[in-house]
């Protein structure tokens, strides 16, 4: 799949950070991972730390798929409101999903601190009403989050204007939140794993997968074979190629970054990410080198040629919206890009085996606006599945909830 368009900032900023040799000899391991993006890296790290022998293969260069296009907002807030999720899953289950995402941000901070130099920064998250009619449902959302112990504050229109300098009917200020350079995190994590003896191989394409009662055999295009007790497909949006039918809807999403802006000019934007209630939503956050990153303008067509042609136009539209919010800033796109973005019907990810592929072939489908947060959670869930243990998130994040 052609997963991105334009000039993704992370790949331009970092370049090809490290060379991983292709896998060219027959190999055996406990767990084989297909996919060398942020999801595959987090899963490999979790399994390796637990003592499993892991081999990871990626058909491109590491991090060159969806990870390079990610805007990496790390939030506990799921694209589906807690109130809405409570209506479909029950309040306790909805709170469990949200609370798990809070935990994931802490785990990601711990991981980033240990690696160092991955652009990780803690943030506040301001979720503001786009229109006056959004104020009432936003208030209901705030009240449920507050009742269930989340760190939230309600801001009326005057407080939003005074504290954040934008005009909005109301907003919820949420903690915790964070941001990271996803491409750099992926490279540094996999390079550390390689130093510790984990097999990490890019430019290694899987030609076929054969599942057996006690193992899974991967035949590579170069003729080598990789045999494992389990295989985990962490191939992002291409993972659905292994399923009989899609479990998510693909869209295109757009983003750009500016040149660096002084922290004095950025003001609260230096420490607060912002997003709105409208769908598709506009969102803003800063990078570790004080660039403003603006994203949104999602559309329903994931057609590479059309997406390529729309990058500049969408970037101009995003810049116009951001400039309206912050007229004192010079918001001019420097690098603009687009990428495939997928959504599930309930906003939750899918991790684990699919009934059509058997128990030894597991999937990591961290779809939605907080995919990295989901991947951190999914790594622990997948470890439990490999080890044959129950996990509290299994009823919510596996294919069991899907009528297949």
pLDDT attached to residue 1: 62
pLDDT attached to residue 7: 86
Please state the length of the chain: 404
State how far the Cα of 295 lies from the Cα of 117, in Å rounded to an integer. Answer: 24
Q: What is the pTM of this model?
A: 0.96
In this predicted model, what pLDDT tens digit does every residue of 144-154 receive, in sequence order? Answer: 999 999 999 99
Name the stretches of the chain with pLDDT < 70. Answer: 1-4, 402-404
Are the C-beta atoms of 240 and 248 separated by less than 8 Å? yes
pLDDT attached to residue 237: 82
For the structural domain made of 4-69+183-247+355-401, what CATH number should be given?
3.50.50.60
State how far the Cα of 197 lies from the Cα of 68, in Å rounded to an integer. Answer: 25
Q: Enumerate the domain spans of the chain.
A: 4-69+183-247+355-401, 249-343
pLDDT attached to residue 51: 98
pLDDT attached to residue 2: 60
Half-sphere exposure of 3 (CA within 13 A, CB side): 19
- Rounded to 5°, the CA angle 33-35-37 comes to 125
Angle between helix 38-49 and 182-195 (nearest 10): 30
């Amino acid at each position: 799949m052609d997963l991105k368009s334009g000039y993704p900032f992370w790949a331009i900023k970092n370049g090809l950070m490290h060379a991983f040799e292709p896998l060219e000899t027959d190999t055996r391991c406990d767990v084989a991972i297909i996919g060398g993006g942020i999801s595959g890296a987090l899963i490999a790290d979790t399994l390796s730390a637990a003592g499993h022998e892991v081999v990871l293969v990626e058909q491109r260069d590491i991090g060159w798929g969806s990870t390079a296009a990610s805007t990496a907002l790390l939030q506990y807030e799921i694209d589906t409101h807690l109130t809405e999720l409570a209506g479909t899953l029950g309040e306790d289950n909805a709170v469990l999903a949200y609370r798990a995402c809070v935990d994931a941000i802490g785990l990601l901070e711990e991981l980033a601190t240990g690696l160092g130099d991955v652009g990780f920064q803690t943030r506040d998250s301001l979720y503001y009403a786009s229109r006056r009619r959004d104020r009432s449902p936003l208030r209901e959302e705030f009240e449920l989050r507050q009742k269930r112990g989340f760190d939230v504050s309600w801001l009326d229109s005057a407080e939003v204007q005074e504290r954040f300098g934008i005009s909005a009917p109301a907003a919820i200020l949420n903690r915790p939140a964070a941001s990271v350079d996803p491409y750099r995190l992926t490279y540094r994590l996999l390079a550390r794993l390689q130093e510790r003896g984990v097999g990490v191989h890019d430019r290694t394409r899987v030609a076929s997968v054969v599942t057996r009662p006690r193992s899974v055999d991967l035949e590579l295009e170069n003729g080598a074979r990789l045999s494992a007790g389990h295989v985990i497909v962490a191939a992002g949006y291409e993972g659905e190629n292994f399923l009989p039918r899609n479990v998510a809807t693909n869209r295109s999403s757009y983003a750009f970054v500016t040149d660096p802006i002084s922290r004095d000019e950025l003001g609260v934007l230096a420490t607060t990410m912002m997003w709105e209630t409208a769908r598709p939503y506009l969102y803003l956050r800063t990078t570790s080198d004080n660039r403003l990153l603006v994203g949104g303008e999602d559309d329903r067509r994931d057609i590479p040629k059309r997406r390529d042609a729309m990058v500049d136009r969408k970037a101009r539209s995003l810049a116009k919206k951001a400039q309206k919010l912050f007229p004192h800033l010079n918001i001019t796109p420097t690098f603009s890009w687009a990428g495939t973005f997928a959504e599930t019907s309930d906003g939750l990810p899918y991790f684990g085996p699919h009934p059509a592929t058997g128990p030894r072939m597991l999937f990591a489908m961290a779809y939605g606006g907080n995919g990295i947060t989901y991947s951190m959670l999914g790594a622990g869930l997948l470890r439990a599945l490999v080890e044959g243990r129950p996990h509290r998130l299994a009823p919510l994040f596996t294919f069991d909830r899907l009528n297949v």
